[in-house]
Amino acid sequence: MSDDSILNTAVIGCGGHARHHFGMIADEPRLHLVAAADIDATRLEQAKTQHRPDRTFADYREMLDQCDLDLVYVVTMPGHLLPIVLDCMARHLHVSVEKSPGMTSAETEEMATAGRESRGKAIVSFNRRYFPEVLAVRRLVQERGGAVHCSGTYNKTLSLIGTPAMAGIAPDPVICDAIHHVDLIRWLAGPTPERAARAVAVHSEVADGERAGSHRHNAVIRFDTGAIGTFMSHYGVGFRIQRAEVHAEDFSAYLDLTRERACELYAAERGGSSSALDEPLDLDAVGGPNFNETSHFANCIFEDTEPWSTLDDAVVTMHLCEAIRSGHKGPL
């Protein structure tokens, strides 16, 4: 680090999703945007005018050679992540890796193995884990002894993911995209503030539609915590809906993460009445309403702690996505 209190930061891949990372970097006072790289000149120019990095590069390797960096966000499509992430790790930089972290769990494992040799830390951008509403609900659930059941729904209209147009660039939709809610139910079922649950068995039914990309999954998952999870993801249906629920003894939370985040909470008295809880979620107890993956990663770097979504943990989520996609039935 050139200045001990500031992380010199760069972004590789300045496409549609990168604007969220640029926004979080701008909002985090401990990060300074030193550089951005993209092979697409138009996107690089847009990033230059909209997000004002000190320097821009068509070749990310030149950027790594010429800039004094601490932290790099790699925001390319999954099929392009692996060599870039490995290059950053070989230079001992801290790295944020987009989801899905590679095309397959084998690629995620390769990144995780390289990460062990690096002095830099790596976080996988499973951003749902860092939503303050999700963290506040998790806290309530863990105070009540942990999740007994959780579920995730992730439905979308037809997109290019899962079609020949995305071959080699993006894996199947449940791995590339609905992975968010596969990971989220692991996280909601997690037994401690830092740990996600691991699936020990899954029963998945896959029934794809006739159109390319209309992938359909229904899965029941048993976790190592004893909780049961259910997961539904259908592409090529009527609307984009992202919901989750989690239940503990005498407690239920229903989360809508489709657009504006909303949460309904319910609690029951033993042998008595049940009611909706009126008090708002305590977001201040989990880092405040603006907490996000970027603030968490900066905390981890400055405090020398492990991110909640490491590459090793992402391997577990990738294996579960692959099991769901393949219609696996039985122990994992």
Ligand X SMILES: NC(=O)c1ccc[n+]([C@@H]2O[C@H](COP(=O)([O-])OP(=O)(O)OC[C@H]3O[C@@H](n4cnc5c(N)ncnc54)[C@H](O)[C@@H]3O)[C@@H](O)[C@H]2O)c1
Nearer to ligand X (CB atom), residue 98 or residue 133? 98
Among 1, 6, 17, 209, binds ligand X (CB under 6 A): 17
Give the total of residues touching ligand X (CB under 6 A): 24
Residue 76 near ligand X by CB under 6 A: yes
* Contact by Cβ (8 Å): 190, 239: no
DSSP state of 167: T
- Rounded least distance, CB 11 to ligand X, Å: 9
- Does residue 60 belong to the site contacting ligand X (CB under 6 A)? yes
- Under the binding rule (CB under 6 A), the answer on residue 125 touching ligand X is yes
In the chain, helix, strand, coil percent, each to 5?
Answer: 35, 25, 40
DSSP-derived secondary structure letter, 235 = B
Residue 108 tokens read as: 């995620």
Q: Sign of torsion, CA 161 166 169 171?
A: positive
Under the binding rule (CB under 6 A), the answer on residue 12 touching ligand X is yes
Give yes or no for a cis peptide into 100 (omega within 30° of 0): yes
C-alpha span between 17 and 43 (Å, rounded): 12
d(CA 177, CA 154): 9
Rounded CA-CA distance 50/172 in Å is 32
Site for ligand X in 186-205 (CB under 6 A): none
Report the residue number, 171 or 236, with the smaller CB distance to ligand X.
171
CB 51 within 8 A of CB 318: no
Pairing of strands 241-248, 149-155: antiparallel
Establish if 121 lies at the interface with ligand X (CB under 6 A).
Answer: no
Among residue numbers 94 through 113, which ones bind ligand X (CB under 6 A)?
Answer: 98-99
Q: Which stretch binds ligand X (CB under 6 A): 16-24, 183-191, 235-243, 298-306?
A: 16-24
As given in the structure block, the two tokens for residue 198 are 């691991």
Q: How far is the CB of 230 from ligand X (least distance, A)?
A: 22
Which range touches ligand X (CB under 6 A), out of 10-18, 151-159, 187-195, 303-311? 10-18
CB nearer ligand X, residue 14 or residue 199: 14
Q: CA-CA distance, 282 to 148, in Å (whole number)? A: 22
Q: How far is the CB of 289 from ligand X (least distance, A)?
A: 19
Closer residue to ligand X in complex, CB, 176/219? 176
Residue 319 CB, nearest approach to ligand X (Å): 18
Residues that bind ligand X (CB under 6 A): 12-18, 37-40, 43, 60, 75-78, 80, 84, 98-99, 125, 127, 176
